[in-house]
Amino acid sequence: MYKDIATPTRTKEILAKYGFSFKKSLGQNFLIEPNILHRIVDFAQLSERTGVIEIGPGIGALTEQLARRAKKVVAFEIDQRLLPILADTLSPYSNVSVIHQDILKADVQQVISEQLADVEDIMVVANLPYYVTTPIIMKLLTDRLPIRGMVVMLQKEVAERMAAKPGTKDYGSLTIAVQYYTHAETVMHVPRTVFVPKPNVDSAVIRLLKREQPAVAVSNEDFFFTVVRASFGQRRKTILNNLMSHLPGGKQKKDEIEKALQAAHIDPKRRGETLTIAEFALLSERLYDTFS
């Protein structure tokens, strides 16, 4: 077994060898604590039949732990300067392929068909670049990829919003967007001290396990999410006022909105953050005819 890349001394050596300078704009905060990496990998429940998609391998700290436990790892890295470093640090592992691409522009489905056709199970595992955590997660969920789920590190606040329960301050449209597709759970809090350079925010690891079907069945997903976003428009407003202010043409449709709320058994004075995902679905079905 090779010495872990993620130890502080080995990381320092690698960075010095290549004269690597961190780009803050790419969210480059590398992990330097092998125990944290082992725990992340444990939460992903990998086997020799699992294929892993990693976003942002950096110098390979997490990648090598994944390579040791999975059948294959495909890692997307945007920063060209890291490619020769990864070729060096990951040379002991024949089951890793690094793709030089912005994950937000990648055709992940095609990469899965080409590179992960022979695995039985696919997980996304990553220490995400913090400036784009939400777009990356939403892309991977809305692309409807054949993945079991994701175990990813991100800002603590964002993890809390994704895993929030109705009626809490963190519950909002991001919660519904994520929980529509997945069962979400924050599995670990991570201190700033295990990264180099130290980030300005606290971190957490979230596990998102994909539901077989979305949490609720709706006639039109876009409209469902329009209703959700409108309901959280201004947090202090009642659901009635938010829907009137934030649904297109809502101001002229007070009666129809009141009727839809009544039919869905939702008190118009409630606030958006108290509605369950099932109640949002019921409401959006009742509003759909009026607004479509």
Please identify which residue in 14, 44, 46, 62 interacts with ligand SAM, judged by CB under 6 A: 62
Do 42 and 71 contact (CB within 8 A), yes or no?
no
* 209, containing H or E segment: strand 203-210
Among 22-30, 85-93, 160-168, 260-268, which window interacts with ligand SAM (CB under 6 A)?
22-30
CB atoms within 10 A of CB 219: 12
Structure tokens at 155: 């800002």
DSSP string computed for 74-114: EEEE--TTHHHHHHHHTTT-TTEEEEES-GGG--HHHHHHH
Please identify which residue in 51, 129, 250, 272 interacts with ligand SAM, judged by CB under 6 A: 129
Structure tokens at 146: 């054949």
Please identify which residue in 13, 102, 114, 202 interacts with ligand SAM, judged by CB under 6 A: 102
Instruction: State the minimum distance, in angstroms, from the CB of residue 143 to ligand SAM.
Output: 15
Query: For ligand SAM, which is the closer residue by CB, 55 or 243?
Result: 55
Cβ-closest position to ligand SAM: 56
Q: Is 29 in the site for ligand SAM (CB under 6 A)?
A: yes
Peptide bond into 84 cis (omega under 30): no
Contact map string, positions 132 to 151, toward ligand SAM, x by CB under 6 A = x-------------------
Strands 182-190 and 203-210: antiparallel
Please identify which residue in 4, 15, 18, 26 interacts with ligand SAM, judged by CB under 6 A: 26
Please identify which residue in 33, 64, 77, 121 interacts with ligand SAM, judged by CB under 6 A: 77
- CA 137 – CA 13 distance, rounded (Å): 32
Q: Is 34 in the site for ligand SAM (CB under 6 A)?
A: no
